[in-house]
Structure 1
């Protein structure tokens, strides 16, 4: 087991398209985590849609062994996060599992909206932040202006920002050294009762649910009986391991480690993100402060073009919901379209991605209704009903007032 002082847990955050996944690729390559013949672009983006669109949708984790210039060996746990605002939930969740962040800013474009949103997530989680100026190989690069902008707009010191070209590999060693020397080591006690945070979970048809955990205190071994503190369910751990990025089994996970466990869990719903996992006997008494569940904000109906495919659609939506806790659905019938589902999404990109996945992975042609929001109808007798569909509008003589969702937005634009 690695000493705590030689472990570093960090995430890479940035605006969409500023080069997070490319930087993750270079860090993996520089440390020989993956053999050169197995290397590919966007190493951590496993879904077809991620690779085609060049975006990250699911946060991915990888464990890197690094020998620093001072000759000491370190274990780095890296989480590559999405940049798009629809997946901010993935980002906030990953932040809770690590102690520091590399803030990647495109040195040709400077600070953009999502850069700020993601920095605020990092500051909320009390992170140490190391700014990285990427794309210095491009002719339009202007590192001094962007460093000044980081200090003005975000208010973090960028005098020692690392200048990197993730594409050509310049500055990668400096980035690894900064992770080792400028980010804090995790805290934790080996002898304390097991306290592990459930960071993510997804379904595998052979192993059942795979649970991504960050060990805060204590240790987790194969064969342990563990309890989920939110729903009280008890499971027998079949295997534990780490991602290098392929799943690699190991014998024990200690404080500060990020790894996975499988325990023949059938339903992803049993593994609530943000839950605390502890031993069945002699467990910890207080759960970790959890994060808030994701709040869907855009709703639309999904209907099969061929009504006979309704059962297939139900199966596919249930399987997708297994791997995406932020996606909600309920049955709906429409006079024109027949049976279908009313689904809630975190945003329009999230909607597009789910729709593409159903059409592609399950081969079902879909009709998607126009995206809408939910209205609260306050009746004169004091009751409140929710309106999902204009066709269900009640008689206005009984209505006192109608409320629609609003957002508080901060709009950030350049001076000129």
Structure 2
């Protein structure tokens, strides 16, 4: 292990970071995504600092296979775009660059300044950028070309001690971004890291802030939880912290008031985790929704005692159950069919002449076409027919 030094504001030379060599950290080059290495190499060849950062480094140190590899560098988005023709700039508040490969995207960010508020486009140095990271386990920089891990905040030691420590002061960390509450629980459970009591206490104080998170971000966070392989443990911990009610109110209230539903939900999520661990190709969003919604729809929702379920009612019951999470309509439709198909339950289809109006924001039914030779006079709908339904 070596040390990195820099100058303080007073001009004194001070230790700023610990540098762990391959013998110290144990990460093998073959564990690192070759496209991420290629991105870092190209940036360094053009004279910029560049490192693999965040969750990928944390997972490698924990002995896990990272799902994504992100890169952080000293080049601005415009400079990165000039180097990589296979790239695009995204984001408004803080611009990122996606470098596109055949089967993956490498996300590249620019070092952020401590002076920036929120996610504004104010760039800085690596020393400033590390202070913008949420937890020390995510604030590590890996140079894959010489296999060094640069640690400004003691993150390597915290990972070895299996503890999740914040970088940002607790008075600000969750107020600035309430989604960090979900991520703290997710990192702790997925990485077998301990949450210090002061972090747990702060989560309980700030958990209501989750109600203000936009539905689009909450949707992505739910699917990330269900994809971790530790979904059961994460949701169980969020329930214990009484934070889940601000993420998904309907299932949270049911789980807190009905111990049988809570146990069935956690058992189902553990089955999901086992299936994900044994699946080489992973699971799509339809499969994730099946595991999460099945018990409610079949045994605890409005159709618990019914063998034939109207598709329209089942669809909207599932959408209401998931609020404020808003998965794509086609994902909900596919999951709904799969749930009842696997359980031997039938979905009662609506008449074919009723068109799908829900995507246009209209939930009224349309008149069916007149049938020749009698039938429904005056274009009236058959008695008992339900309004228009989503297409499958």
TM over 0.5: no
More strand by share: 1
| Higher alpha-carbon Rg | 2
Instruction: Compare relative contact order (CA 8 Å, sep 6+) and give the higher one, 1 or 2.
Output: 1
TM-score w.r.t. the length of structure 2 is 0.28
